[in-house]
Amino acid sequence: MIKLFRCKICGDPYIGEAAPSRCPFCGAYEEFLVEAVCPGETFDVELNEKDRANVEKGLEVEISNTQFYFCAAEKTDDEEGKQLFKALGRVEAEHASIWRKILKLPKERISGSENCSESNRENLQESHDREDMAIKFYAKAGAEAENERVKEIFKALVQVEQDHLKLSEERLK
């Protein structure tokens, strides 16, 4: 039986017989995918000063990472690397979209920048460093968060970024 699912993190719907193991849009784990029979998750949250600063920093991280990945997808000297970086860029752009919703900012298209290499290995190392930094920041921000919805998003994004880190680690071996 075909069902409609919704991601509790990004809010996007998915149609399928079962919930996927990861959100096809933001990468959130299956635990955050629910049948869309109930109202969606809200992005209308009250942010204290610390939560707002961390969400704004999260948006900066995701925009920077999206730009890097889209650049690497264009320039890297490895065909599989091009596909990997394109996929990572799309997920990071979705993460930026989540923070924009929380901050009540308009949608914005993110394009690549010139801050990447033609070397796939160098781009993988940069990816590794960026994901490691994001994981550390998100874990700290999640621990500090007072708003439960913001805490939940930080937790989910730590998991997703850990998956991204594993992808770079496996390819750097």
For the residues 73-99, what does the mean pLDDT come to? 97
Query: What is the model's pLDDT at position 110?
Result: 84
Stated pTM of the model:
0.94
Statement to judge: residues 63 and 144 lie in one domain = yes
Q: Which residue segment(s) compose the domain that 84 sits in?
A: 49-172
Statement to judge: residues 61 and 118 lie in one domain = yes
Q: How far apart are alpha carbons 86 and 148 in whole angstroms?
A: 31
Report yes or no on 114 lying in a domain: yes
Please check the confidence at residue 40 and state whether its pLDDT lies above 90.
no
CATH of the domain at 126: 1.20.1260.10
How many domains, in total, are found in the chain? Answer: 2
Report yes or no on 142 lying in a domain: yes
Statement to judge: residues 19 and 102 lie in one domain = no
More confidently predicted of 109 and 150: 150
Q: How far apart are alpha carbons 173 and 171 in whole angstroms?
A: 5
Q: Is 34 helix (H, G, I), strand (E, B) or coil?
A: strand
Q: Which pLDDT tens digit goes with each residue over 41-54?
A: 789 999 999 999 99
Statement to judge: residues 62 and 15 lie in one domain = no
